[in-house]
Amino acid sequence: MPRGNDAGPMGVGPGMIISIASGKGGTGKTTIAVNLALVLAENKKYKIHFLDCDVEEPNGHLFLKPVIQNKESVKVPIPKIDYLKCNLCGKCGQVCVFNAIAVTKEKVIVFPEICHGCGACTLLCPEKAITEEGREIGILEEGRTDSISFIHGRLNIGEPIAVPIIKEIKRKAMKRYRCRLQEGSKAEGQEIILIDAPPGTSCPVIEAVKGSDYTVLVTEPTPFGLHDLVLAVEVLEKLRIPHGVVLNRCNIGDSGVEQYCRKHNIPILLSIPHDREIAAAYSRGIPMVSIDSGYKHKFSRLFENIVQYAIYPNNKQ
Amino acid sequence: MKEIVIISGKGGTGKTVITASFAVLAKNKVLGDCDVDASNLDLLLHPKVKEKHDFYAGLVPILDIDKCTDCGLCREVCRYDAISTINNRTTIDLISCEGCGLCAHICPEAAIQMQKNRCGEWFISETRYGPLVHARLGIAEENSGILVTLVRQNAQRVAQEENLDLIITDGPPGIGCPLIATLTGANLAVIVTEPTLAGIHDLERVVKVTQHFGVKAVSIINKFDLNLENSDQISHWCDKNKVEVIGKIHFDNVIAEALVKGLPVVEYSKNRVTEEIKDIWQRLEKLINIK
């Protein structure tokens, strides 16, 4: 997601993209993203766009409960063979590195689920016998709450490749966001895009966090949390995205994560103790800022920290 | 040979903690870790690596800047926005690149060569509980599905060679490529869920995936006492969808304590969670008909 010169971190430009990620699953990404969104949305100065990019298992809507206004299909291009032109030369099968096309003596077999839609077969067919048709791999839904605009995607059951849906969510948000930026003074507030990323360190995560001004890594103070945090930090270093840590359930486990963060000069932006009441509220889809107003202040502080570190990423501590 | 995979849809529901305890309780088995993105099973099983192999998959474009005339054709055809012109020079962003090779085919100067990509490694190890096959995907790499398949194939091979009749596999979260590669052809999927709205939502989706690929599924409700109403709801939903709930596990700090000590919880101390996991394992043994 390329950003123009007109956009930049808060304070130096009119908006900001913050992604919330983690190596390990279930550490509280969605919790942090949702509570941050709710707290920021109370301030009229900001316009909040929530993008749930965990399209394999999207959960943000369970907490934000947006009214969905628009639903569309996300399609990827797959090859369609014109047998009037095809002479079964086999070129398409040779060039497809994903093994999504096989050419037999009688016909060309396409395996749509593993096609990456690169277009190599179509462009390189000597007989121009291949055109493309769209194949649905999931859906994208747009909606809003009272104060937050919301987009999420949903990968269809049985589909392996999530990346095109994440791309489409971000493309849509960016288009809207850029429009607003160009309207200039008409946009009352500063635009903040919050991205709830999927777990892991591979392609869907990269696609979700790419182009962020700042990434918040949510982890827990256990050996699992630490191990996967180290991997996630490597990803962000590779992508050159400034990042900090939210330590969730900070009163269970050990001090490994804190030691690691101190040693590598990674700021701990917020620590949240495990609290059975909060966990029970979470299980019912109730965000912690709604049950304990003390958290409103904490999440405001979290945002101030993010802004600070996003602007001065080299001055970590 | 039987293959059980532990999956969840939602991350962090307790797959690895439960898999590690099964590793202690089960006999004559090979262990597999198919969460190749963020594998954690080794943190509890402490494997000694016996074999280490590089994992090559996919291709990466190498641009010969002496041959490149910056005509821009590759940039035009690339659908992943991986090629751009920076300071009038063609530049390839390998993170965005999916390795399709179209740029190499189309370049009029033959300035792009596709090279094999080392994108991870995989291991065969020995643990106190039996052999473990595991892997590590390189940071920001693709092809996790292929690496998962490699782990499973080698787990099957080791099982055959050592005459073991069971494979227990720790799966990845989600429902995409690595999960599908973990699931297809397995004998039984054990889905670990939790009584939260997110847990329920993700359980429903992952059960549909097991049905889609024709793999029998059973479920475990972890931290069930966190929300009894939701736990009941899960039980009803599972009944209706022919997914047997084979056990419930209390929410207990002992799990985090065992984790910090680097031990499977059933080996850490005698407690209610341990008893619950032991009961679940007995049921599983009956279910898959092993000794």
Task: Give B78-87 pLDDT, tens digit per residue.
Answer: 999 999 999 9
Q: How many domains does chain B have?
A: 2
What per-residue confidence (pLDDT) applies to A112?
A: 95
The number of residues in chain B equals 291
In this structure, are B142 and B269 located in the same domain?
yes
What stretches of chain B show up as alpha helix (H) in DSSP? 15-25, 41-45, 73-77, 102-106, 144-161, 177-183, 197-212, 228-240, 254-261, 265-268, 272-288
Kindly tell me the burial class for residue A185, based on how many C-beta atoms sit within 10 Å of its own C-beta (0-12, 13-18, 19 or more): exposed
Is residue B215 over pLDDT 90?
Answer: yes
In this structure, are B71 and B201 located in the same domain?
no
The CATH class given to the A76-136 domain equals: alpha beta
CA distance A44 to A269: 24
Domain of residue B269, CATH code: 3.40.50.300
Cβ of residue B212 closer than 8 Å to a chain A Cβ: yes
Residue B280: CB atoms within 10 A of its CB come to 21
Task: Name beta bridge partners: B166.
Answer: B2, B29
> Nearest CB to B208: which of A98, A157, A284?
A157
Residues in chain A predicted with pLDDT less than 70, given as ranges, are 1-14, 178-189, 313-317
What per-residue confidence (pLDDT) applies to A33?
A: 98
Long-range Cβ pairs for the range B260-269 (8 Å, 24+): B260/A222, B260/A223, B260/A253, B260/A254, B262/A223, B262/B43, B262/B44, B262/B46, B263/B44, B264/B17, B264/B20, B264/B21, B264/B23, B264/B24, B264/B44, B264/B45, B265/B17, B265/B20, B265/B21, B266/B21, B266/B24, B266/B25, B267/B21, B267/B24
Task: Give B4-24 pLDDT, tens digit per residue.
Answer: 999 999 999 999 999 999 999
In this structure, are B92 and B157 located in the same domain?
no
Kind and range of the H or E element at B54? strand B48-63
Contact B140 A238 (CB under 8 A): yes
Would the pTM count as exceeding 0.90? yes
Contact B12 A26 (CB under 8 A): yes
B 4-43 residues with CB < 8 A to A: 8-13, 16, 37-38, 40, 43
User: Residue B90 sits in which domain range?
Assistant: 65-110
CA distance A18 to A99: 37
Kind and range of the H or E element at A91? helix A91-95
Contact B177 A157 (CB under 8 A): no
CA distance A287 to A67: 18
B111-115 mean pLDDT: 97
Tokens read off for A155: 């990968």
Which of A57, A59, A276 would you mutate first to test chain B, the one with the most B CBs within 10 A? A57
B214-241 mean pLDDT: 97
**ipTM score of complex:** 0.93
Task: Give B252-283 pLDDT, tens digit per residue.
Answer: 999 999 999 999 999 999 999 999 999 999 99
Q: State the fold for domain A15-66+145-311.
A: Rossmann fold (3.40.50)
Contact B254, B273 (CB under 8 A): yes
> Nearest CB to B197: which of A201, A252, A285?
A285
Spell out which residues of chain A touch residue B179, defining contact as CB-CB under 8 Å.
56
Task: Give A57-67 pLDDT, tens digit per residue.
Answer: 999 999 999 99
Contact A235 B40 (CB under 8 A): no
Minimal C-alpha gap between B60 and chain A (Å): 11
Contact A202 B142 (CB under 8 A): yes
Contact A235 B139 (CB under 8 A): yes
What per-residue confidence (pLDDT) applies to A7?
A: 42
Q: How many helices (H) and strands (E) does chain A have?
A: 11, 11
Domain of residue B92, CATH code: 3.30.70.20
Type of residue at B276:
E
In this structure, are B169 and B90 located in the same domain?
no
CA angle A155, A159, A160 (to 5 degrees): 100
In this structure, are B130 and B152 located in the same domain?
yes
